[in-house]
Copies of this chain bind each other. A is one copy, B any other.
Amino acid sequence: MIQVPQGFRLAAANADFRGKKLKRNDLCLVLSDVPANAAGVFTTNLFKAAPVLISQEHLASGAPMRGVLINSGQANACTGDKGLEDCRASLDMVARALCGQGTDIGAETLLPASTGVIGAHMDMEKWRAAMPALTGSLGSIDLEGLARAMMTTDAFPKMAGAVLELENGCVRLAGVAKGAGMICPNMATMLALVMCDAAVPAGMWRAMFRRAADATFNRVSVDGDTSTNDSLFGLANGASGVSVRDGDLPRLEKALTDVLGQLAYMLVKDGEGATKVMHIHVSGAKNDAEAEKVARAVGHSQLVKTAMFGRDPNWGRIVAAAGRSGADFDPMELKVTLCGVELFSGGRPSDLDFDALLEKPLENVDIPLEISLGSGTGKARLLASDLSTGYVTLNSDYRS
């Protein structure tokens, strides 16, 4: 069981946002007992949900934050000005309810996130009704309870943590995420949150959080679509009393990257209808950006994804995707190695019996795919799901 870092209390409640009287929580709150340095990474989609806009506004102040408020079932996206008002009203309610319990925080120190049906306005009556249960549960919810309250169609709750012995003492990191689960009318929203009880200067924390997100959450592909609501938060509250020294920063960043990396891996593994996780590693590109082009072209290719689902060592589709990626390399230098078996080099498929050699390895969930371009030192990694009949069924049958 992953421990919640010091000075954080978790709360969750069932607000019935889906209107289906399900016995599950759909509202949760992470509260830091002291102001925490806060970082956020958000969807780059032009259509940003109200909670994304308001989280960005709160973070832009540079001030420390007290918490994150997440609901599932109502995305509050494409809801116009009323959506912004509703979002602010929900934060006010939480701040007032906490005040009634003796915890005095400003609504502008809360970061909101939502996932669920887009286009519809939030049901503020349901928010109001859920407040006593939410604030009443504060401190009684564990990390898994938090992860479960964020879930939409995720098959499993997603949690990761790390304990780090630094020179001045021990610090903890713990994170939760929800994946690309779909909900009527179907947006794949990625939400994640990492808590850390180390004392890290705000600028350092923000910079390392952005780099860690870039190396992990920005390196996954389920279907290439991005949502109106994608949000990723990081709070460092210093409640451990352990100040991170300059010499400790690389280790803290590594631990943070590891926690985000575990969560990102779980997202791909739990991608809709996914049966495989391709671990794509491109090397030998002219630069990292060129390597990323190849990784994304291969990882997003419907033909490569369906081949993986079919356990088919289809070098032709991999080679063709690399060739149309827009990256500049010499086709004669390309090497493709799948599950340790070299499929292609020197412009030709290798002379091995791929089907026999790869029949067993391709039954695994995790499929390593190495692509070497032989044209430089640029490299990139990407985790990509396969494309199954299950994906199409899930995404075309939402009415049923």
Binding site for B on A (CB under 8 A): 43-47, 77-80, 118-119, 185-188, 223-228, 300-303, 306-307, 309-310, 312, 314-317, 319-324, 329, 331, 344, 346-349, 387-389, 391-393, 395-399
Contacts and interface: CB of A to CB of B under 8 A. Distances in A.
B314 A186 contact: yes
A392 B395 contact: no
A251 B344 CA distance: 48
A186 B309 CA distance: 14
A77 B316 CA distance: 9
A393 B389 contact: yes
A390 B395 CA distance: 14
A344 B77 CA distance: 13
A223 B303 contact: yes
A139 to B, nearest CB: 36
With most chain B CB atoms within 10 A of its CB, the pick from A314, A346, A398 is A314
A46 B324 CA distance: 6
Contact of A392 (B224, B314, B388): B388
Given A188-B303, A303-B188, A396 B324 contact: no
Nearest to A317: B186
Contact of A226 (B186, B320, B344, B397): B320
B47 A228 contact: no
8 contacts: A46-B323, A225-B303, A306-B391, A310-B397, A388-B396, A389-B389, A389-B393, A391-B392
Contacts of A323: 45-47, 228
A301 B228 CA distance: 15
A164 to B, nearest CB: 35
A60 B45 CA distance: 43
B388 A302 contact: no
With most chain B CB atoms within 10 A of its CB, the pick from A44, A225, A316, A348 is A316
B395 A47 contact: no
B301 A348 contact: no
Contact of A119 (B307, B324, B348): B348
A284 to B, nearest CB: 14
Nearest to A308: B396
Minimum-distance CB pairs A-B, first 8: A310-B396, A306-B395, A46-B323, A47-B323, A45-B323, A119-B349, A223-B302, A306-B396
Nearest to A349: B119
Contacts of A331: 46-47
A225 B46 contact: no
Contacts of A185: 312, 314-317
B392 A320 contact: no
Contacts of A225: 301-303, 317, 320-321, 324
Given A47-B320, A225-B303, 19 more contacts: A45-B320, A47-B322, A80-B346, A119-B315, A185-B315, A186-B307, A186-B312, A225-B302, A226-B324, A228-B316, A228-B323, A302-B395, A306-B392, A306-B395, A306-B396, A310-B395, A387-B396, A389-B393, A389-B396
A320 B180 CA distance: 14
Contacts of A227: 320
Contacts of A224: 300-302
Contacts of A344: 78
Contacts of A395: 302-303, 306-307, 310
A398 B314 CA distance: 10
A226 B36 CA distance: 49
Contacts of A387: 302, 392, 396
A320 B228 contact: yes
Nearest to A327: B46
